[in-house]
Structure 1
């Protein structure tokens, strides 16, 4: 028996499918219904399951490569079966694809498509991108040939059974062998290009395999102006973009912009955000704590929490902070209202909801009105310093830059690396002076470097020490008796034995520690598989048991409990793949040797 694996058609409009990865290696055994590979089309992701038991005998496509639907990509057959006929079938079909013919599995569905017709005609006429006379050509080699403008015809293949590989194409390009002299284009497109005086080499093709169509030629002709420039795109200056431009222009024409810069030690700010995130029922970020610090500085310097209109400087009691958000139409600043009255938990929750609504396009004009001060963060894009433009009629705006790590002298005259956060304060010099701005930034820096008073009382102060991950290096210390401590990076926990084994029962046994690692790994691996397949899975509980209760382990069992409405087949697949992907579980299946050494303390 045995069969040829082909690229599936994931939709009526699918033109090519990309191999995301093989689930099994070539030569490995696979069972009926088991996942063989994952593929992706222009609009969706699909799985290829084994139709019958066998071995993945051949693969013809590498991850990242794409081919039309219906193209052979592998062979599954019993280990001892003769697959000569299947290989011959694959080679014949690959030659058809190389010659520009649509795979048989999809020919009927695509026969009326203009792209396919133009592409096939083009390759027959020019030979560009085709290798009907040269044997098999790998998809990656074909793509590289198109990029380098290399004719595949005449290139001697060094791959499997004489196939042309990517290295063969690059070698030909370096020696100028097979350099394309013609552009892939339909006869009708060539005729139209002559009529309009369009150079086909400058036209981007949208037809089959990138061939130039008649519409491409006409579009190119329309995009060339009197100066010989080629238009790439027109973007009308209207709607939100026009409003943004008008307001920024007004700001620069009316306000007298001055920008001052300061830098704060940010270690305490990061530590405070982490500590709050661990305690509060909200996802707290550094930006949330920073907004409270800004509000505190505005409380001490109310002249900056203000607007200036009709020659009147209005100072507002409400701290309505605009939070700049970059959306497709431009930069907007939805307003987080009354920050001075809100807890950190409320600020964190409302800011996320506000930004999320802006990114989803679900905001209203009311969300953008009433701001008294704005915070804009380009640091997330790596910007180290900039001069933000005031959002009129406000009188000031705070820019947040990228975090920088700098050497700092410690109390013991040593040097330590610490994170610093730069700020840029732009203000209207008609309303406030440079000395006022300097005092505002001084207060803000004090709040950033000592943020703990901004947090709820139930958040314990942390020392700001960065967490050190174990990096798969764990140390167990046994000072005496049967108990000890396990240290892994910044983490540590105890281990012990039952009293009847000479211990004091102050911690789990070493076997219990191992069972905990196995259960944790299984839970994370199952979670990964569920998220990968967009399966709605809530809590995951894993219980691991070892028998007998004492002595050497003779039997292991694990029970995985999932909170989900997904069907049984989906959960069965998720659990099965989760167990296979669990690194701790893999240790139980592998013949893994232990290199044991010793040394004196």
Structure 2
């Protein structure tokens, strides 16, 4: 056994052991006997004793310090930060508010990321808003039918998902107050007054309303559409669905009960007397959401000084070309997305795109330079042509993107797609964005001439009138039949002068009257 197997060190109330350098490995492997083990055990006890002493002294030092105020605000701020407000995103085209059509959630409901929260309706399309977080819904800022502001919070979500019932402030229905009849003499016999006294008073308690389910304000889009058609407030109906949801059968029962009550009701005094025909009765009807947004947009558009230019275009050659192409399409195999028939509008749209290459100012917009704070023109390379459409919801202007890279058949296919979505009310916000110039075909409904209004952030719009058959003279002075259509242009006279508009309109007239030119101009 080595003469100096271990050395004991003492430093700052801590003990540690270090083996000697002489044959340390051999000592631990073969020559460590019982006395040495006992020595190590005693050293370990000493070490634990020293550690406990040092720990006690540190605790005494901590207790001798002045008490520190509890950081109660820290825990409270953490609690507030788990509530995430979901902001209503900007859906483009300068829309600042949307109508909340229906909610898919309610306070206390669990939602996952990208799960639907509500459906909103702008002046152009209905959009389904999804959740950005997973958690528990804490608060709804708007009721169905109210206008929600873009960029503002419309729902709060607890991302930790520990929402409790007491954390949610339920909207309690107002309790009916007791109505007290003032103490006034009642017209009765004097004997009754003498028996009951000189006044009679009583309290009338209205019958409490039936409490609605927690999902009473939720319904499917079909049910809401039916309620709007019948002009019924969905909150007036007692739903028989799950958690008080209103079903179609509930609406029909409500209408039937209402009609029966109207038939049984006695005629009013006003109906017993004939109305004076000389008195004009006015009825106030609020604007629909689409009409309200159109009112705002057109009010801003009319701040643009309009310049009108009209011309007659001979469609005779275009009629023949369209007839031949439709014959080819009808004999070709059916391909998904390809129209089976062409209208005249795709040819006009392509002609406008060809004119933009020659006159790019038609595709520009007026803006203010942020550096100089002066008006400027912003030129845009893509030809995104908006098409004004008459839909069940009102006037819509979806956009055909990048017309310069499309042929006639592709333009017709995209036009048919947008028309189908517009008829169903399913156009998305992306279908309305990015327009650079607009074409409106009022002639499909009727009307020969039109004075169209320029769309905001554009400088020109083309109105197409009704095509009609007229007699005309050919080169041999013979009377022939021609198909004539009127083109009416409105331009921003701040940046487009009459000569520029006339040259651009003449170019389009040439292309439409000689549609074979489109073949040479295809890119």
Task: Tell me, yes or no, whether TM beats 0.5.
Answer: no
Normalising by structure 2, we get a TM-score of 0.45
The structure number with the bigger radius of gyration is 2
Higher relative contact order (CA 8 A, sep 6+): 2
